[in-house]
Structure 1
Amino acid sequence: MSFFNLHTHRYTQEAATLELVNQYPWAFNEDYEKFSIGIHPWYLDESRLQQDLDFMTIKMSDPNCLAVGECGLDKRIEIPMEVQQVVFEKQLLLAQEYNKPVVLHCVAAFDEVMATKKRLNITVPMIVHGYSKNEQLAKQLINNGFYLSFGKYLVRNPGLETVFLSVPDDRIFLETDTIDEDIADVYALAAKYKKQTIAELQQTIEHNFQQVFKTS
């Protein structure tokens, strides 16, 4: 593995790249090699919730299932927060039971996510995907045990460089999410910001991958 893509919605099968492809229980594709599976708050449907959770439970035993998610909380959508919270907690408990890391979607609800992690005593790694906020929040998340994944906003917003550089090497991942750029392009930009070679950054991400996903 030369590159690890923490979160993508496109299965590209790029050479020497491990892609963690986002999957939904109601639209599962058996062709994807490695995947995460979760109920995104945008697409939460209470009428099929138990069916989706049952399907996720089955997939927890699949060796190609590396994580739960993306899942989380989003205050900018119409689905009530109390409904989102219940579904989020069910997925966190599933991840804890099966010892799977969690890929997080979080919009304007970081305090709630941190509080939920603490209240439920979630000990599996939790990774905030697509981080785009400030350095102060990044530090708070790091201090509470979270990892941060950078991609779309790192590419689109040069102002995020300072925030990215403030995150310890052992807490970062890189991703493409929905952007057209390849993961190699994201690595190249991140290495430039860190004043490292791409090979050095690859080694860092590889180490983090081994730590979080317990893969040898």
Structure 2
Amino acid sequence: MLVDAHCHLDFPDFSADRERVMARARAAGVERFVVPGTTRERWGEVLALGEREGIAVCLGLHPCFLDRHGDEDIEALEEALDASPGVVALGECGIDARFADSLKAQWRLFDAQVRLARRRNLPLVVHCVRANDPVAKRLRQLAPPAGGLIHAFAGSPEQAEAFRRLGFVVGLGGAVTHERAKRLQRAVMALPDDGYVLETDSPDMPLAGHQGERNEPAWVAEVCRVVAELRGQSFDRVAADSSATANRLFGST
């Protein structure tokens, strides 16, 4: 069994063929999907997907959509969590340092969501781009008790270990398949068996050889194959380990 621990099946990119996309994923061995929320306006679509068998959902406010977030959205997020006890994590939240002009606002939003997750004892799904060290520092300061997932991890073995010590696992996706990702590949080889999950970030984060194409959850099987090769383990072992970790983090269905 495979789990795609991070895929945006609610996005309009899948509106025309969502059922076929999910059928292809299941044919590839993917039995569970974790769908994060990104903006308040999309929470309804995310929650609707959560009614389906094999789909777990998260709610959060993504740092790359600051222009869509309002001052009242943290309160709205708390209310949505009250009304939706099946939500398995808070996210996608985090920091994207590519957008330097909005970093101050990103940190305010991230801190508010980490504190909310701490109050609710919910794991976090963290978007962390070019910000591994400062995000680890902030998580150490705020100490959310349920840990979470560092989505689309692209850092060093040392940074992965720092997150692990804080109770977080790292998400491995399309980036590991690219030849140039030597530092990330070293981190993959050094991770403990329970230190990672597999993900696609569909429709984004395409695999090597598929740049410019829409990504989809079926490709998590190829991510699994590459991770297994890097770790010197069997496909079945990596599938089982990563799925067990995803189910431990997000709860089993």
Short-chain TM bin: 0.7 to 0.9
Checking the alignment, whether the CA contact within 8 Å between 1:59 and 1:65 is kept in structure 2 is no
Call closer, same or farther: CA 1:98–1:175 in 2, change over 3 Å: same
Is 2:74 the partner of 1:53?
A: yes
- Counterparts of 2:79 and 2:31, CA distance in 1: 26
Question: Larger deviation: 33-42 or 140-149?
Answer: 140-149
Match of 2:8 in 1: 9
Q: Using the TM superposition, name which of 202-211 and 122-131 deviates more.
A: 202-211
Structure 1 equivalent of residue 228 of structure 2: 191
2:110 is matched with: 88
TM normalised by structure 2 equals 0.75
Moved more, 160-169 or 27-36: 27-36
Contact 2:36 2:92 in 1 (8 A): yes
- Check if 1:32 corresponds to 2:49: yes
Cα deviation code 1:61-100 (max 9, x no counterpart): 4244221111111222044332211110111112122222
Distance 1:131 1:37 in 2: 20
Deviation at 1:150, TM superposition (A): 0.7
Instruction: State yes or no: 1:102 paired with 2:124.
Output: yes
1:142-198 per-position Cα deviation (integer Å, ceiling 9, x unaligned)? 233321111021122452322201111111111101232621121122222223222
Secondary structure of 1:48's counterpart equals coil
Cα distance in 2, alignment partners of residues 91 and 47 from structure 1: 13
List alignment gaps of at least 5 residues for structure 2.
11-20, 51-55, 207-214
Q: Does 1:171 align with 2:195?
A: yes
1:194 and 1:121 map into 2 onto residues whose CA distance is 30
Residues in 2 aligned to 1:108 and 1:169: alpha-carbon distance in whole angstroms: 25
1 or 2 for the larger relative contact order (CA 8 Å, sep ≥6)? 2
Which stretch has the larger CA shift, 2-11 or 138-147? 138-147
Taking a change above 3 Å as real, the CA distance of residues 152 and 47 of structure 1, as seen in their structure-2 partners, is: closer
Q: Is contact 1:105-1:129 (8 Å) kept?
A: yes
Structure-2 residue corresponding to 1:22:
36
| Structure 1: tracts of 5 or more residues without a match | none
SS at match of 2:90: strand
1:76 is matched with: 98
Alpha-carbon distance between aligned partners in 2 of 1:84 and 1:136, rounded to the nearest angstrom: 25
SS at match of 1:7: coil
CA contact (8 A) 1:127 1:146 kept: yes
Contact 2:128 2:153 in 1 (8 A): no
CA distance in 1, matches of 2:69, 2:190: 43
Task: Quote the Cα distance in structure 1 between the aligned partners of 2:226 and 2:244.
Answer: 19
Match of 2:15 in 1: none
Normalised by the size of structure 1, how large is the TM-score? 0.87
1:95–1:101 CA contact under 8 A, matched in 2: yes
Q: Which runs of 4+ in 1 moved over 3 A?
A: none
Task: Tell me which of 107, 128, 137 is aligned to 2:159.
Answer: 137
The code of the aligned residue for 2:138 comes to: T
Counterpart check, 1:205 vs 2:246? no
Query: Alignment identity in percent?
Result: 24
Partner of 2:212: none
* AA in 2 matched with 1:8: C
Equivalent AA in structure 1 for residue 189 of structure 2: L
Report the aligned-residue RMSD: 2.3
